[in-house]
Chains A and B, each alone.
Chain A
Amino acid sequence: MDEVINRNSTIARELKAGSGAEVGMQVLNDSQSSGTVGDIYVDDPRMTCRNVNVYYGDKQAIFDIDLDIAKHQVISMIGPSGCGKSTFLRCLNRMNDTIDICKVTGQIKMEGQDIYDGGLDVVPLRASVGMVFQKPNPFPKSIYDNIGYGPRIHGLNDDKDHLDEIVETSLKKAGLWEEVKDRLDQPGTGLSGGQQQRLCIARAIAVSPEVILMDEPCSALDPIATAKIEELIDELRENYTIAIVTHSMQQAARVSQRTAYFHLGKLIEVGETDQIFTAPRHRLTEDYITGRFG
């Protein structure tokens, strides 16, 4: 019943956005054909993905994915290796553009704007959809310049004082300020792994994104650093929408409100995290979370 209501509200919104009834119908049909179980749609989405297919050359990596990403929520994407969850995540800020042979079809909208529209510039898109990678990748620059990099290239800072302020607030939000405030001029590569990853999160925050994508942000970190990052993710939810790919089901359960389970390039099931982990509806999801494979 819930599902139907959600779906109807989406259609209503699409109609309001002026996309036409046809699109609404198509969404309905396609969502049935994609065969995903659970609540694909949410009332208040930041991003909507419809019919997303991704090809690497001749090989199709992602099949017909429909998914909404809700505002101020953490959505985690889980699934066995090679299931396409990272590929899907990288579609959300067009990071796949950097791979020559990669082709994306379908529609991904952010606030009603199709991000794969030919006229859209990826520069502001990537500023509003930030990304944190699996391995911490601070630039070989000072901590200050690492954070200042984004604001500088986007011209967000009015003057030096303003940039100082941005750096300070970003580091504070990332929970790193107290640890590095006395050595902002030292290289970011000299920090510990966990600090580096928080530096990368601060770097993403510094350009004031609306969505932050995280691709296995803790897989290169020890448990203590992981706990800190998870805590941080929970705090960040207040201001940002977060999509996180993770291999750790405990992590998904701890930090996310919604969970999407991917299998062989298909979105199998999506729903409230509690429900996915306690009462999965699809057999594959159940097999995966109970550890029968993956």
Chain B
Amino acid sequence: MHTSTLIIVLLGLMSLAYYMGRKRSLNLVSGRVRDLHSLPSYYGLLTALWCGIPAILLLVVWISFEGSVVTGLVVDSLPQETQNLPPERLNLVLNDIRNLATGDIVSTTVDENMQQAADHYARLQGISHMAMFVAALSLAILAGFIAHRSISRQQRARNRVEKAVNFFLLSSSTLAIFTTIGIVLSVLFESLRFFQQIPVTDFIFGLEWSPQTAIRADQVGSSGVFGAIPLFAGTFLITLIAMVVAVPIGLLSAIYMAEYAGRHFRSLAKPVLEVLAGIPTVVYGFFAALTVAPFFRDLGASLGLGVSSESALAAGVVMGIMIIPFVSSLSDDVINAVPQAMRDGSYGLGATRSETIRQVIIPAALPGIVGGVLLAVSRAIGETMIVVMAAGLSANLTANPLEAVTTVTVQIVTLLVGDQEFDSAKTLAAFALALVLFVITLALNMIALHIVRKYREQYE
């Protein structure tokens, strides 16, 4: 039997427990629900929870410790010389044993000892599984039975079920928080390893980026220079171009949608803008690389300008188009949040619509718009797919949008794609870049959210 079978059996037991608990509570009062403390379904739920949760917890604990216990026992049974191997080598042997036991391909030739160990492993695993099954099922039945017996008229089933629900909600929300913390910590620690090899100042203030390092001593190759400034400069250049495209178009379309457009136009244009937001970034990426970039190159050629075929301009413009719906829907919300009383006050003084928008609505909505734009900036900085496909790889330090530049995200991708050794500065540099990028976008988001929130308070 597989673990999934066990879970299905447990779910079956839980439904049974629900049914039994509900029935018992009804029997206790011979069908008069008002005599019970809680509704019958709460007694059912409580019994089902008692039946399921301890067993599932046991399952989780068992599965997480099963591997190490079984492996420990197998190692003890191995010959002495194998046990004395260095940890990495021992791990390889253990891997082979596991593969042999499950019937996968083994890297070395199989000898007597190996085969014995594999059989031992398989046997132990089988016993452990069996024991887990028996333990989990009996715990489920036992706990369910006790819960069933303890049902009484005064039992506060509703409150206990609410408490359990409360706990589930809490654990779901903390899961997301812990995941975030985990990601941040892993990036942080890998970055620290990087900074042990390359000084922080060289990384942050270095003007040259050339991450190629010689892997073996006899290899010819550069020693690697990790100056992040060209990458961040490229990122900001592309972001700037994207913002130059997205902010005016997004803002003006939001103003039109919120203040001028009739109901018909709005009902047509809003979904279309949302379609724009729904296009996968990879599609924008090849649109940029295959359509927009050649177009700019040819246009440049006809004007006598040398435009790189992977220009920052192409990537930036397409990224800007991608962000338009983001800017416009955020600004639309903020503009709509400006109280009607402001508009009335202005119209009542004889102001026209455009005077009202320019002099009252935009100033009133400005903090919110700025917040929305900052959120869009942090999205543009973190955007990867478009720049991977449309921006270049060479780390030029330039402010000319017609040249190829590279961005932080592109470099992270190229550093980590393919076979890597995880202790070289080249690979670890990706984590350092990620850390700085994370800090920048986090700061931008926090500023933006702060501004947006402050603005909300102003009117409510």
B355 contacts A by Cβ under 8 Å: yes
A95 contacts B by Cβ under 8 Å: yes
CB distance from B265 to the nearest CB of A (A): 13
Residues of B contacting A135 in the complex (Cβ-Cβ under 8 angstroms): 341
Q: When the two chains form their complex, are residues A126 and B360 in contact, meaning their CB atoms are under 8 A apart?
A: no
Q: When the two chains form their complex, are residues B349 and A133 in contact, meaning their CB atoms are under 8 A apart?
A: no
Q: When the two chains form their complex, are residues B350 and A139 in contact, meaning their CB atoms are under 8 A apart?
A: no
A130 contacts B by Cβ under 8 Å: yes
B439 contacts A by Cβ under 8 Å: no
In the assembled complex, the Cα of A130 lies from the Cα of B345 at a distance in Å of 10
With most chain B CB atoms within 10 A of its CB, the pick from A124, A149, A189 is A149
Within 8 A of A (CB), among B256-303: 263
Q: When the two chains form their complex, are residues B345 and A200 in contact, meaning their CB atoms are under 8 A apart?
A: yes
Known A-B contacts A126-B349, A150-B350, A204-B349; the reply to A140 vs B364 at CB < 8 A is yes
Q: Which residue of B lies closest to A141 (CB)?
A: B363
CB distance from A79 to the nearest CB of B (A): 21
Tell which of B341, B344, B359 touches A153, judged by Cβ atoms closer than 8 Å.
B359
Known A-B contacts A123-B352, A149-B359, A153-B355; the reply to A139 vs B347 at CB < 8 A is no
Q: When the two chains form their complex, are residues B359 and A133 in contact, meaning their CB atoms are under 8 A apart?
A: no
Known A-B contacts A140-B364, A140-B458; the reply to A98 vs B347 at CB < 8 A is yes
In the assembled complex, the Cα of A203 lies from the Cα of B347 at a distance in Å of 12
With most chain A CB atoms within 10 A of its CB, the pick from B342, B345, B360 is B345
Q: When the two chains form their complex, are residues B344 and A95 in contact, meaning their CB atoms are under 8 A apart?
A: yes
Residues of A contacting B339 in the complex (Cβ-Cβ under 8 angstroms): 137
Q: Count of A residues near B, CB < 8 Å? A: 28
A27 contacts B by Cβ under 8 Å: no
Known A-B contacts A139-B364, A140-B363, A149-B359; the reply to A123 vs B346 at CB < 8 A is no
Residues of A contacting B458 in the complex (Cβ-Cβ under 8 angstroms): 140, 189
A207 contacts B by Cβ under 8 Å: yes
Instruction: Summarize B's interface: helix, strand, loop or mixed.
Output: helix
Q: When the two chains form their complex, are residues B348 and A139 in contact, meaning their CB atoms are under 8 A apart?
A: no
Chain B contact residues (Cβ within 8 angstroms of A): what range?
A: 20 to 34
Known A-B contacts A149-B359, A153-B355, A153-B359; the reply to A123 vs B350 at CB < 8 A is yes
0/1 per residue, A114-156, Cβ < 8 Å to B? Answer: 0000000011111100110101011111000000011001100
A93 contacts B by Cβ under 8 Å: yes
Residues of A contacting B342 in the complex (Cβ-Cβ under 8 angstroms): 137, 139-140
CB distance from B359 to the nearest CB of A (A): 7
Q: Which residue of B lies closest to A154 (CB)?
A: B350
B351 contacts A by Cβ under 8 Å: yes
Instruction: Summarize A's interface: helix, strand, loop or mixed.
Output: helix
B343 contacts A by Cβ under 8 Å: yes
Within 8 A of A (CB), among B361-389: 363-364
Q: When the two chains form their complex, are residues B347 and A137 in contact, meaning their CB atoms are under 8 A apart?
A: no
Q: When the two chains form their complex, are residues A122 and B350 in contact, meaning their CB atoms are under 8 A apart?
A: yes
With most chain B CB atoms within 10 A of its CB, the pick from A95, A138, A140, A200 is A140
In the assembled complex, the Cα of A93 lies from the Cα of B342 at a distance in Å of 17
CB distance from A3 to the nearest CB of B (A): 34
In the assembled complex, the Cα of A140 lies from the Cα of B366 at a distance in Å of 11
0/1 per residue, B323-343, Cβ < 8 Å to A? Answer: 000000000000000010111
Q: When the two chains form their complex, are residues A139 and B344 in contact, meaning their CB atoms are under 8 A apart?
A: no
Q: When the two chains form their complex, are residues A126 and B350 in contact, meaning their CB atoms are under 8 A apart?
A: yes
Q: When the two chains form their complex, are residues A126 and B341 in contact, meaning their CB atoms are under 8 A apart?
A: no
Q: Which residue of B lies closest to A93 (CB)?
A: B348
CB distance from A48 to the nearest CB of B (A): 21
Q: When the two chains form their complex, are residues A150 and B347 in contact, meaning their CB atoms are under 8 A apart?
A: no
Residues of B contacting A93 in the complex (Cβ-Cβ under 8 angstroms): 348
Q: Which residue of A lies closest to B263 (CB)?
A: A100
CB distance from B136 to the nearest CB of A (A): 63
Q: When the two chains form their complex, are residues B344 and A137 in contact, meaning their CB atoms are under 8 A apart?
A: yes
Q: When the two chains form their complex, are residues B349 and A149 in contact, meaning their CB atoms are under 8 A apart?
A: yes
Known A-B contacts A139-B364, A140-B364; the reply to A153 vs B345 at CB < 8 A is no
Known A-B contacts A122-B350, A149-B359; the reply to A139 vs B343 at CB < 8 A is no
In the assembled complex, the Cα of A100 lies from the Cα of B348 at a distance in Å of 16
Q: Which residue of B lies closest to A145 (CB)?
A: B359
Q: Which residue of A lies closest to B366 (CB)?
A: A140
Q: Which residue of B lies closest to A122 (CB)?
A: B350
Residues of A contacting B341 in the complex (Cβ-Cβ under 8 angstroms): 133, 135, 137
Q: When the two chains form their complex, are residues B344 and A98 in contact, meaning their CB atoms are under 8 A apart?
A: yes
Residues of B contacting A137 in the complex (Cβ-Cβ under 8 angstroms): 339, 341-342, 344-345
Known A-B contacts A149-B359, A153-B355; the reply to A130 vs B344 at CB < 8 A is no
In the assembled complex, the Cα of A228 lies from the Cα of B88 at a distance in Å of 87
Q: When the two chains form their complex, are residues A127 and B346 in contact, meaning their CB atoms are under 8 A apart?
A: no
Residues of B contacting A138 in the complex (Cβ-Cβ under 8 angstroms): 345
With most chain A CB atoms within 10 A of its CB, the pick from B347, B350, B364 is B350
In the assembled complex, the Cα of A189 lies from the Cα of B346 at a distance in Å of 15
In the assembled complex, the Cα of A133 lies from the Cα of B349 at a distance in Å of 12
Q: When the two chains form their complex, are residues B345 and A133 in contact, meaning their CB atoms are under 8 A apart?
A: yes
In the assembled complex, the Cα of A227 lies from the Cα of B319 at a distance in Å of 59
Within 8 A of B (CB), among A187-211: 189, 200, 203-204, 207
Residues of B contacting A125 in the complex (Cβ-Cβ under 8 angstroms): 350
In the assembled complex, the Cα of A204 lies from the Cα of B345 at a distance in Å of 9
Residues of B contacting A124 in the complex (Cβ-Cβ under 8 angstroms): 350
Q: When the two chains form their complex, are residues A153 and B363 in contact, meaning their CB atoms are under 8 A apart?
A: no
In the assembled complex, the Cα of A168 lies from the Cα of B428 at a distance in Å of 67
Residues of A contacting B343 in the complex (Cβ-Cβ under 8 angstroms): 98
Q: Which residue of B lies closest to A136 (CB)?
A: B341
CB distance from A214 to the nearest CB of B (A): 11
Can you offer 9 A-B residue contacts whose CB atoms are under 8 A? A123-B350, A126-B347, A131-B348, A137-B339, A139-B360, A149-B359, A153-B351, A153-B352, A189-B458
Residues of B that sit less than 8 Å from A by CB = 263, 339, 341-352, 355, 359-360, 363-364, 458
Residues of A that sit less than 8 Å from B by CB = 93, 95, 98, 100, 122-127, 130-131, 133, 135, 137-141, 149-150, 153-154, 189, 200, 203-204, 207
* Given pairs A122-B350, A124-B350, A137-B341, 4 additional interface contacts (CB within 8 A): A95-B347, A123-B350, A153-B349, A203-B345
Those 7 A-B pairs whose CB atoms lie nearest each other, nearest first: A126-B350, A131-B348, A137-B341, A127-B350, A150-B349, A137-B345, A123-B350
